[in-house]
Structures are given as C-alpha cells and as structure tokens.
Amino acid sequence: QVQLVESGGGLVQPGGSLRLSCTASGSIISFNPMGWYRQAPGKERELVAVIPIVGRTNYADSVKGRFTISRENAKNTVYLQMNNLKPEDTAVYYCYGRTGYVEVWGQGTLVTVSS
C-alpha cells in the first residue's frame, strides 16, 4: 500500500507562511481526491482543502484566500501553501488520499502559529 509522508510543519509567527508537502511512496495518479485535514487540540479533525484529479479544488471557509492546494503527480507530491497564518491555524495537519475504496492517511505534521 502507498504511504504518505508529510513535511514542512513548524513554528511560525502570525502573518507568516509555510508550505507543507505530502510525498507518496508510490504513484498518486489514481488518487482521487487528495487533500489536507487538520486537528487542533481538543477538536475534531476537519477538512482543510481537497484537490481532485480533474476539476475544482475545495477549501474550508476558514482558509479560503489564504491557503492553496496543488498536486504534482510526476513527483508523487501534494502541497499546501499557507499564507497569512493565524493562531487558530495551529493544528496537526494530515495528508489524505483515496484510491478506489482505499483511504490513506499520513502521520501528520505539526503547525504552530504563535508570537
């Protein structure tokens, strides 16, 4: 089974930017969609953004205009560019992909937005 590994998390000040990467151990061509979820302390996991093979991307209202999801199938990688970060964006961010009936999750990467 293909594994997903996130990277790029860390500590950033409010208003700053980070780019998360999710690299798969195999091809993501058949993954539809791929996406990012996040889970803040004491809260449930929530959708951040999804990107299908073809079609429009979708974002949570809380990140629209600030986050951008993209995928580079040739590199088996999905990205999440996060700009104008806010303290409420602090969470563990998980990469997600679905191929057929199989769902695959990464182990998560921590993003902390604090001054």
75-99: pLDDT as tens digits: 999 999 999 999 999 999 999 999 9
Is a pLDDT exceeding 90 seen at residue 19? yes
Q: What is the pLDDT of residue 1?
A: 86
Q: What gap in Å lies between CA 48 and CA 5, rounded to an integer?
A: 17
- Whole-number mean pLDDT of the chain? 95
Is a pLDDT exceeding 90 seen at residue 54? no
> What DSSP string runs through 69-93?
EEEEGGGTEEEEEE-S--GGG-EEE
Q: What is the pLDDT of residue 103?
A: 94
